[in-house]
Structure 1
Amino acid sequence: MGLTQTTTAIYTAFALAMLATSTQAQSAAPCEAEVPCQIGDRSYHVLPPDNWDGTTPLPVLLHFHGWGRQGTLIVKHSRIAGATRPRGVLLLAPNGDGRTWDFWNEGSPDTDFAAAVIEDAAKNYPIDRDNIMVSGYSYGSAMAWRYACENGDGVRALLAVSGTINQNESCETAPNEVRHVHGTRDTVMDFPFGPGGDTNHPVSLWRERLGCSVPTGTESYSTTEKDHFERVIWEGCATGNVVLDVHSRGHFIPKGWFARQLDDLLDTPS
């Protein structure tokens, strides 16, 4: 073999070694943020809060993404991750099978999967079991409702945006508190008006399940110049509280809405 061939062989071997090292490094990367964590053939994303000391138990926001999305979006989302990171909340974002969720009927396999996500994350992060919150947007909101309906015991709050399940369903379990936001002009997951155009209907399932009667309060508030809400509150129900925020716009996550709810629930500075 000549000198040129020898040199080429050496460089080739070196390049292959570097590629193997790079591949090993990528496979050894910790599952965090955009690097998914595996549970069998399913996966999820996890994002710890800013400036966490590594030992303090963390409240959890388990968030179900919308149709066609994945958890990679959620851990970068300014209105979701942007709310959890500065508030000391651990964000868990499961990946839907086929980029969607099985929420239409009882017995969803995604309920068991999402419960497994919490337990898997608990192996690496100290979870505050008194502050597990479940949320979602659009199809993900309906999945969050399904999760609360089937595995709601121990859930501090359901934070749902623009998506529900059938209001006539009977839920075996329920969260301690429900906070739902929906736009009256939503044509993707239509605003579920009740008889006579009743705008309190979107949470009728939870009002019945938690034993709520007449509203105990109302409030108008804004999070931005464009995001205005009419809030109806049912406090002191038989087994929990219900809050409904209604706006006059369409299908989206209102800016500042998650931040407002977390501030209320965790008593953090706004």
Structure 2
Amino acid sequence: MRAFLLSVFLLVISLPALACGPETRCEVTGGYYLAAVPDGWDGKSPLALVVYFHGWNSSPEATFRNKAMVNGVTGRNALFIAPFAERGYWRQIGDGRAEPGRDEAAFIRAVLQDVRKRWPVDEDRTLASGFSRGASTVWNVACYMGDEFRGYAPIAGGFWRSNPETCPSGPVNLRHIHGLADSVVAFDEIGIYNSMAITDGIDILSTLNGVSGESRAVDSGDGRLDCERWDGSRSGRVLELCLHEGGHSIPAEWVAQGLDWLEALPDGS
């Protein structure tokens, strides 16, 4: 009886650690995240992973109110994760570039470690995406923590205040979406909040990836986007830039389309 009661007690105290999801916070050192699994998931099959970094002054809760975005990902048999930005503001990371406040690299690693403890992750299908300041975080993770994900899909945001001289993580697969009429984060010049030109970030990754030759036009499957791809690189990694005529916006389906792009990459990239 004593052994039985002990086992019940251990089960009960472990439940709060497991019980998190779309409405209950998954607590980690430095903050929390919300999570959604696909409907009908069998509880054991590996899942693709999409981590979405929200924009300035938003939240995981606000992200999850965007049902089209969340369902677009989970409908592709993927786990959707939305981490929390302290005071709605993601800080830059990297030696000599880190901003005061929470150590975002440590927090993101804590999130990813916790996710992998709770759910089986298909490591060939891991994507970081985000919007605006959240997209800046995606660029930072790609640059300084590039081995954490197979692919990166930032939307309407790049490096802030200064570009790194190089990216220690080396070559990465990255697909960036940007509006040519974006008046918040300018595409090809310094923006009103000291965002750096996206074209400069693309140049940094082109060098790291070992791009040779010109880009080629590719069909994104979305008529709003004009995309060009650099895939003839020494590293085998793929770099893609998709432009549209609009401003600072993120249609919900673009996050899930980033997963489609990732899954269509050549083996070994």
The interval holding the TM-score normalised by the smaller chain is: 0.7 to 0.9
Q: Deviations over 1:23-75 (max 9, x none)?
A: xxxx7992100221111341111111222111111111111100001111223
The higher radius of gyration belongs to: 1
The aligned residue for residue 204 of structure 1 is: 203
Question: 151, 163, 184: which one pairs with 2:145?
Answer: 151
Q: What letter corresponds to residue 243 of structure 2 in structure 1?
A: V
| 1:120 correspondence with 2:122 | no
Q: What letter corresponds to residue 250 of structure 1 in structure 2?
A: G
Q: Deviations over 1:8-29 (max 9, x none)?
A: xxxxxxxxxxxxxxxxxxx799
Could you tell me how far 1:154 is from its partner in structure 2? 4.2
> TM-score, structure 2 length as denominator?
0.79
Partners of 1:44 and 1:199 lie apart in 2 by 28
* RMSD of aligned Cα (Å): 2.8
SS at match of 1:43: strand
SS at match of 1:228: coil
Q: How is 1:191-230 mapped onto 2 (pairs within 5 angstroms)?
A: 191-193=187-189, 201=200, 203-219=202-218, 223=222, 228-230=224-226
Q: What letter corresponds to residue 173 of structure 2 in structure 1?
A: E
| 1:42 correspondence with 2:31 | yes
Q: Is the 8 A contact 1:156 1:175 kept in 2?
A: no
Could you tell me how far 1:255 is from its partner in structure 2? 4.7
Identity %: 28
Could you tell me how far 1:159 is from its partner in structure 2? 0.4
Instruction: Count the aligned residue pairs.
Output: 238
> TM-score, structure 1 length as denominator?
0.79
Give the 3 Å change call, closer, same or farther, for CA 238–78 of structure 1 in structure 2.
farther
Which structure 2 segments of 5+ residues have no match?
Answer: 1-15, 191-196, 265-269
Could you tell me how far 1:158 is from its partner in structure 2? 0.6
> Structure 1: which 4+ aligned runs deviate by more than 4 Å?
198-202
Partners of 1:37 and 1:65 lie apart in 2 by 16
Which structure 1 segments of 5+ residues have no match?
Answer: 1-26
The aligned residue for residue 16 of structure 1 is: none
SS at match of 1:80: helix
Q: Deviations over 1:185-230 (max 9, x none)?
A: 1011111259xxx99555222112211133341135563xxx6111
Give the 3 Å change call, closer, same or farther, for CA 53–215 of structure 1 in structure 2.
farther
Q: How is 1:1-270 mapped onto 2 (pairs within 5 angstroms)?
A: 30-103=19-92, 106-107=97-98, 109-165=103-159, 166-167=162-163, 169-174=165-170, 176-193=172-189, 201=200, 203-219=202-218, 223=222, 228-239=224-235, 240-267=237-264
